Amino acid sequence: MDNPEQLIRKGVHHERFKENLVKVALGGLTWGVVLVALLIFGRICWDGMPVLFKPHFPFIDIAFLTERTQTLHVFDDASGVRHSLPADQYHAWVDQHGAGALFNEMSYSYSGGGIAGPIVGTALLTLLSTGLALFFGVAAAIYLSEYAKQGRFIQWVRLAILNLAGVPSIVFGLFGFAVFVLAAPVFTGTPVDRTLLAIPLGFTYLSFQGWNSSLIAGSATLACMILPVIITASEESLKAVPQGFREASLALGATRWHTIRKCVLPFALPGILTSSVLSLARAAGETAPIMFTAAVAAKDTMPWEGEGGILGTFQSQVQALPYHIYTLAARIPTSDYTERAQYGSVFVFLMMIFLFSTVSIILRNRVRSKLKW
């Protein structure tokens, strides 16, 4: 007859073996994902850092960050020396030496100059869309959490908001194109022919003719896309504030809005800023929504240099790094001459996301450090 104590020990050893096996399997999957991510980001950094950083002072390729995107011209001169020049330097070289001095000429679109236009466009789209989404998202969260009568209808509204978070970005792009580009209302003295409705106001018209493809249309589309995340995270942050704060404030005679503004929102702010970190990264990285509403592949001027001055910035099309990278990767044949623009753009894009997220995290930590429960 087997000793019962030995049977228990055998069972313990068997269970410990299975537990270790599960631990090894889960650990292997986790570290496998980390390894793949490190390989991808390592390749981007390995090829992108030499484009942005230089071994001599000022150690950063300022021209790549400040010059505008141009076509790269590659050619041989009469002595067989190969040149690779952006469009402005190429035209100056041709004016000096003549077109007859060019041999074996090839050109690569969007691969010369720098990426100042996409950097500026990405920053404007990200900051404006996040600002719009935070304003409307926090307002909606305050209403749902503090004012709305809780019931089945509000539960359906919350469910609809959660479902919106899973809608593909290309759908938001088509939504933005239909609503903001073609049908949004504007004040104009002369409505265009394709306007859906023009309401005369005496001194002007309220015309539903859309904002055309522009910075404001793209920002509004991106704001709609990140709105569900901000509403949900903001409402959860508001609910996490102890009810006693509200009751004490109301007992002292404060109004509900004063209570929300002074006693609830400051303590919910770290959670709201956390949602803004996630939203910043998503708004900056999306390509599909801005393809239909705001982005262009090439543009010779900055957004504020067109007609209308500073106010015209909102009505101008912009370049954006995600769309610029898509254009370089999908529409331009890859070669040694285009890799500089491709890997440099991706590396700068990652640095921008890292910068935006770092600023938001620092701001959140500073706000959180000032709060004492």
For the cut 80, the answer to whether the pLDDT of residue 370 exceeds it is no
Is-contact 226 283, C-beta < 8 A?
A: yes
pLDDT in tens, 178-235: 999 999 998 888 888 888 888 988 888 999 998 989 999 999 999 999 999 899 989 9
Give mean pLDDT, residues 102-111. 87
pLDDT confidence of residue 221: 94
56 or 120, which is more confident: 120
pLDDT tens per residue, range 125-153? 998 998 999 999 999 999 999 999 888 99
Mean pLDDT (whole number) for 82-89:
88
Q: How many CA atoms lie within 13 A of 216 on its CB side?
A: 17
pLDDT at 2: 55
d(CA 282, CA 108): 30
Which residues have C-beta within 8 Å of that of residue 299, sequence separation ≥ 6? 117, 317, 318, 319
| Alpha carbon distance 103, 76 (integer Å) | 5
Contact by Cβ (8 Å): 320, 294: yes
pLDDT above 60: residue 9 = no
Exposure string over 335-348, b if 16+ CB within 10 A, otherwise e: eebbebbbbbbbbb
Hey, is 372 helix, strand or coil? coil
How far apart, in whole angstroms, are the C-alpha atoms of residue 290 and residue 298?
A: 14
pLDDT of residue 138: 92
Indicate the pTM of the whole model: 0.84
Angle at 181 between CA 178 and CA 182, to 5 degrees: 60
Whether residue 5 is predicted with pLDDT greater than 70 in this model: the reply is no
State the CB neighbour count (10 A cutoff) for residue 70.
Answer: 20
Tell me the pLDDT band of 10, cut-offs 50, 70 and 90. low
